[in-house]
Structure 1
Amino acid sequence: MSVRERLEAAAYRTLMGLPAPAQRLLAGRPLARQGQTLACDVQLTLRLARLVREPGLGDLPVIGARTLLRRQAVLVGGQQPVGSVRDVTVGERPGRLYVPRGAADVGPLLVFLHGGGWVIGDLETHDPVCRFLAEQAGVRVLAVDYRLAPEHPFPAAHDDCVAAYRWVVEHAADLGADPERLAVGGDSAGGTLAATTAIAAAREGLPLAFQLLVYPGTDMRGGTDSRRAFAEGLVLEQSFMDVAKASYLTRPGDETDPRASPLLADLPGGLAPAYVATAGFDPLRDEGEAYARALAAAGVAVELRRFPEQVHGFVQFVGVGRTGRAANRELAAALATGLSVGVRSPRSA
C-alpha cells in the first residue's frame, strides 16, 4: 500500500470501530427499502467510499478491478489468525489449505470457491475469509484458484472446480480430510460454482456432506425484482455484472446452460444438504432464494437465511465493523453444524 492508502486504511478502521450512535451520525439517515434497513456500519462504508471517490469494480479494466479487490480485501478482512496455512496443488490448480488450531489429524474439510464474477478474485482476496471460517467453524478449508475470464471463458471455471473436487475426494487422506465430511462452498460466483460442483458430485456419486452457498448467482438471465432494485450504489452494480457476464459467457446459449445458471438445472437425487445465505440489499438475493426453494422442492434438506441488513460482499467483512462479522459467525456456525463439528467456544479473534 502507498502512504496515502495506509492513512486511509487507518482512518477507515478507526471509523468502523466507533460506537453505533457515532456511526449513525456519520452515515446519515437510515436507508430503508422493501421493509429492510441497511446496517449502519455498512451504510457508513458506502458513504466513505463515495467521499474518497473509490471507483466501482465495473468502472475499471479487468486488471484494475483485480487489483482493487485485493486492496479492498486487505482493508476489510484484516489479519485473521488460524492454526496453519500451506499452499497445495489441487490437481492442476493452485490451492491453499487452512487448518484451525486444535484440529485433529483427520477432520471435516470445506472446498472453498471464491467470488468475483468469474473475472476477479483469487487466493489472496479471500484469504481472510478462509482463515475466519476455518478457525470459527473448526473445519479445514481448502481454497481453489480456478481460471478466470476473459482469458478463460465458460465453462473453464466450472470445469476447474469439478476437477478440483474430484481430486479432493481422491486425495482426502493427504489433506487430513474425512471423506464422509466434505463440503463445498463459496460466495457470489463462487456460490454458483459450489452449487454446480455439488450437482456434478451428486451425478457422479461422489461423497459430499454439505453445501455452503453465500449469495450465489443462480440465473444469468437476470430479470428479478432484486436485480432491478439494488443494482446501483450498493457494492454489486449493474456495470460490473455486465462486464462479468460478457467476459464469462461468450457464446449463444451460455446464460441458460445449467452449469452457469443452476436454477435451470434438472436437480439430481442425492444432492447434499445446503445452507443458502442471501443479503437483503443484493441484486442476487431473489435468485439465490429461488434456488433454495428449488432445492427444497427437489427433496434436499436446505436452510435459507436472509441477512436483511447486509449487502453483497459481506462475507469479506471479517476484520472490521460489527454486523458483517456477526453474519460471518453465523455462516461458520452453519458450516460446523453441517459437518457435525463438536460445539466450539467462539473465537475472539
Structure 2
Amino acid sequence: MPLDRILRNLITWQRADGPPTPLRELSIEDARARYLANAVRPRRGGGPADTVTTADHTIDTADGSSIRARVYRPDTEPTMSITFLHGGGWVVGDLDSHDWAVRALAAALGAVVISADYRRAPEFPYPVPLHDAIAAARWTAREFPGLPHVLAGDSAGAHLSVGVALDARDNGGPRFAAMLLLYPPTDPSLRLAAACEYPEGYLLSVDDMAHHYDLYVPDPARRGDPAVDLLNADLRDLPPAVVATAEFDPLRDEGIAFAERLAAAGVPARQVPGPGLVHGYFLMQDLVPAAAKCANGVLDELAAMLAAPRDAVAAGRVDPVPGH
C-alpha cells in the first residue's frame, strides 16, 4: 500500500531544506543529538502511559563496570517482566529516546519493563553492548522471579535481544517466554537490504546501516559471529518470537527471512507486517495513527503467543499476521 500520508508529510517537511546530512558525515555527538531530538516526545498527560511509574537502577556488568536501567511499573499487578533494549544502530539512542514507547509498552501489556542503557559503539564496540544486554536480562530474571520474562527490542535492540537469547540457550538461562522483535537487523552483509524496493529515502537507509555496522563490529572477521550474523545462526530452541516489520524499511526483507529461519529451526514465529509504515514506527504512535494501530496489533500477537498452550506452538512455523 502507499506510504502513510502523515509519514509522507513528515518526510517532506524534514527534507524542506534539502536531504538530511548522512549519518556517516555527522560526529557521534551530533548524530546522537539529532536522534534524541527526533525521538523524544513531550508528555501531554491523560494517557495510559501516565499511569506508569519509573525508577532508575544500576546493573553490574561482566567486566566490572555498570550500566543504568529504568524500571517501568504499571498501576496494576504486573502480568510479565520485559527486558527492553532500545534501538539506534548500537550507536545512538538511550533511555530517554525510547521513554515514551516503553511507557506505552508497560501500560498496554500491564508489564514491568526494564529498559537497559547498554554501552554504545564506537566507544564500546561488539561484544560490549551484547554483554551489557545479557547482564540486564539476568538482572531482570533475578529481580522479578515467577513472572513470564519477555525479551523485547527495537531495531538494534531487537538484534541484541536475539543475541541474549542465544547466550541464554547455550549457557544455562535465564528462560524467556517469548521475544518481541521490532524490525530487527539480521544480515550484516546487507545483501537483502541493498536489493529491497526502498533502500533509502524513508528515514533509514542502507548506507546508515552499513555505517552503524562499521562502528559496532569494526573487525570484519567478527561479522560472522552467530550473535552478529543472526540470519545464519543456529536458531534452534530459541523462545517463540513475534517479528514486526515495516513496508518502507530497508530491513523489511531480512526481518521476514529471519522469521522464516526461526520457523525452519522449529521456533514458533509470528511475522507482523507494517503496511505503509517506516522503520522506527513504534516510536511514532502518538503522531501517526496507523503506527499506533499496527503497534497495538503487534502487542496483541505477543499476548496471544504468551497465552497459547505450549502444545499449540510446539511445532515451529511462521504465522503471517494480516495487516492491522
| Range into which the TM-score falls when normalised by the shorter chain | 0.7 to 0.9
Q: Does 2:54 align with 1:89?
A: no
Where does residue 224 of structure 2 map in the other structure? 256
2:12 is matched with which residue: 39, 44, 47? 47
Post-superposition shift, 1:54? 7.1
Partners of 2:15 and 2:165 lie apart in 1 by 38
Q: CA deviation at 1:56?
A: 4.5
* Alpha-carbon distance between aligned partners in 2 of 1:53 and 1:326, rounded to the nearest angstrom: 31
Instruction: Classify 1:60/1:221 alpha carbon distance in 2 versus 1 (closer, same or farther; 3 Å).
Output: same
2:208 alignment partner, one of 223, 237, 240 = 240
Q: Which moved more, 1:120-129 or 1:52-61?
A: 52-61
Please point out which of 137, 144, 149 is paired with 1:172: 144
Is the Cα contact below 8 Å between 1:82 and 1:98 reproduced in 2? no
- Which of 32, 45, 49 is 1:66 aligned to? 32
Counterpart residue number, 2:256: 289
Contact kept in structure 2, 1:149 and 1:248, CA below 8 Å: yes
Which shifted more, 68-77 or 129-138?
68-77
The 2-side partners of 1:163 and 1:297 are apart by 29
Is the 1:227–1:282 contact (alpha carbons within 8 Å) kept by the matching residues of 2?
no
- What is the TM-score normalised by the length of structure 1? 0.80
Q: Sequence identity, in percent? A: 34
Choose which of 183, 199, 205 in structure 2 pairs with 1:215. Answer: 183
Question: In the alignment, what sits opposite 1:98?
Answer: 72
The superposition leaves residues 161-219 of structure 1 with CA deviations (integer Å, 9 ceiling, x where unpaired) of: 1122122222225xxxx34x000011111110111111222222421101000100001
**1:113 to 1:152, Cα distance in 2 relative to 1, 3 A:** same
After superposition, the CA RMSD in angstroms is 2.1
Instruction: Render the CA deviation track for 1:209-231: whole Å, top value 9, x for unaligned.
Output: 01000100001011115654322
Number of aligned residues: 298
SS at match of 1:119: coil
Cα offset, 1:331, TM superposition: 2.5
Q: Does the Cα contact within 8 Å between 1:257 and 1:264 map onto a contact in 2? A: no
* Aligned ranges 1:113-128 → 2 under 5 Å: 113-128=85-100
Structure of higher CA gyration radius: 1
- What's 2:116 paired with? 144
Question: Residue by residue, what CA displacement relative to the aligned partner does 1:109-162 show, whole Å, maximum 9, x if unpaired?
Answer: 111000111100100000011001111121111100101000001111111111
Preserved CA contact (<8 Å) 2:86 2:154: yes
What is the identity, as a one-letter code, of the residue corresponding to 2:119? R
Give the corresponding residue for 2:235: 267
User: Does the 8 Å CA contact 1:139/1:336 hold for their aligned counterparts?
Assistant: no
Superposed, which structure 2 residues align to 1:334-345 within 5 Å? Answer: 334-340=301-307
> Aligned-pair distance for 1:239?
3.4
Aligned counterpart, 1:109: 81
The one-letter amino acid paired with 2:52 is G
**In structure 2, what is the Cα distance between the partners aligned to 1:153 and 1:233?**
27
- Over 3 Å counting, the alpha-carbon distance change for 1:238 and 1:302 in structure 2 is closer
Residue 87 of structure 1 contacts residue 94 of structure 1 at CA under 8 Å; is this kept in 2? yes
SS at match of 2:149: strand
Aligned partner of 1:201 in structure 2 is 168
Q: Deviations over 1:69-103 (max 9, x none)?
A: 111112588664232111122333210111122x2
* Partner secondary structure for residue 220 of structure 2: coil
- Work out whether residues 41 and 100 of structure 2, in 8 Å CA contact, stay in contact via their aligned partners in 1: no
- Alpha-carbon shift at residue 254 of structure 1 (Å): 1.9
User: Against the structure 1 CA distance between its residues 54 and 135, is the aligned structure 2 distance closer, same or farther, given a 3 Å change threshold?
Assistant: farther
User: What TM-score do you get using the length of structure 2 for normalisation?
Assistant: 0.86
1:208, 1:272 within 8 Å by CA — same for their partners in 2?
Answer: yes
User: Please, which runs of 5 or more residues in structure 2 have no aligned partner?
Assistant: 61-65, 309-324
Partner of 2:316: none
Displacement of 1:53 in angstroms is 4.7
Distance 1:236 1:41, change over 3 A: same
Gaps of 5+ in 1: 1-35, 342-349
Where relative contact order (Cα < 8 A, 6+ residues apart) is larger, the structure is: 1
Native 8 Å contact 2:40 2:98 kept in 1: no
CA distance in 1 between partners of 2:116 and 2:84 (Å): 6
Q: For residues 49 and 309 of structure 1, what CA distance do their matches in structure 2 show? A: 18
Q: Distance in 1 between matches of 2:242 and 2:162?
A: 11
Distance 1:115 1:305, change over 3 A: same
CA contact 2:270–2:301 (8 Å) conserved in 1: no
CA contact (8 A) 1:230 1:283 kept: yes
Q: Does the residue aligned with 2:190 lie in a helix, a strand or coil?
A: coil
Q: Distance in 2 between matches of 1:66 and 1:111?
A: 23
